[in-house]
């Protein structure tokens, strides 16, 4: 270690920082080897069992069914029940934000189903069943948002299905 002599005649201590550079590189190497990179979190998808006959359609009760239609420009429409000839009068427009957003709509439908169960109109194991149908003009972001809404709203039974030509004509 070198010393400097000041005007007063006393030696001022000087610290040699060369070994600190070596220590810095050792610490960088240590943290690089011991750090784990964050693992990507993916959406869990449950596939149907292989032993089931997939040609047989699943039965959904009209009181528990809800269909959400995703269109262009973040357009969001929904209707309750099974599609029929009067589908045009059933479709209601909604959004992801603001008043009467899709989360409120799902919550209201779940409440209505619970009231039907309490009144004896449905079995206790009946749950809200949501069919999500995205058009070719909808964005992936909208699909991810609606799947997030299913998770947030704790909808246990939902599926992404193909949109029919009648439904496509309604949202256009």
pTM for this predicted structure: 0.66
Region 140-162: mean pLDDT is 89
Q: Which CATH class is domain 65-171?
A: alpha beta
pLDDT of 38 strictly over 80: no
So what's the pLDDT on residue 9?
64
So what's the pLDDT on residue 99?
79
Region 119-137: mean pLDDT is 87
pLDDT of 14 strictly over 80: no
The mean of the pLDDT values for the chain is 81
pLDDT of 42 strictly over 60: yes
pLDDT, greater one: 86 or 161: 161
Total count of residues recorded for the chain: 172
pLDDT of 112 strictly over 70: yes
**Most confident range, picked from 33-37, 97-101, 155-159:** 155-159
Domain boundaries, the chain: 10-34, 65-171
pLDDT of 27 strictly over 90: yes
Region 25-54: mean pLDDT is 75
Read off the pLDDT of residues 47-99 as tens digits, 9 standing for 90 and up: 655 665 656 666 777 888 899 999 888 889 888 887 776 777 778 888 888 77
pLDDT, greater one: 143 or 95: 143
């Amino acid at each position: 270690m070198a010393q400097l002599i000041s005007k007063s005649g006393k030696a001022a201590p000087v610290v040699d920082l060369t070994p600190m550079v070596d220590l810095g590189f050792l610490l960088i190497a240590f943290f690089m080897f011991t750090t784990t990179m964050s693992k990507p979190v993916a959406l869990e998808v449950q596939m149907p069992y292989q032993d089931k006959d997939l040609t047989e359609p699943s039965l959904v009760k009209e009181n528990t069914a809800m269909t959400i239609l995703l269109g262009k420009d973040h357009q969001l429409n929904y209707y309750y029940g099974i599609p029929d000839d009067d589908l045009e009068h059933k479709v209601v427009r909604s959004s992801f934000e603001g008043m009467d957003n899709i989360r409120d709509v799902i919550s209201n439908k779940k409440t209505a189903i619970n009231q039907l169960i309490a009144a004896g109109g449905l079995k206790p194991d009946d749950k809200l069943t949501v069919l999500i149908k995205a058009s070719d003009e909808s964005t992936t972001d909208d699909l991810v948002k609606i799947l997030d809404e299913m998770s947030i709203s704790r909808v246990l039974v939902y599926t992404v299905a193909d949109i029919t030509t009648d439904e496509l004509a309604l949202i256009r």
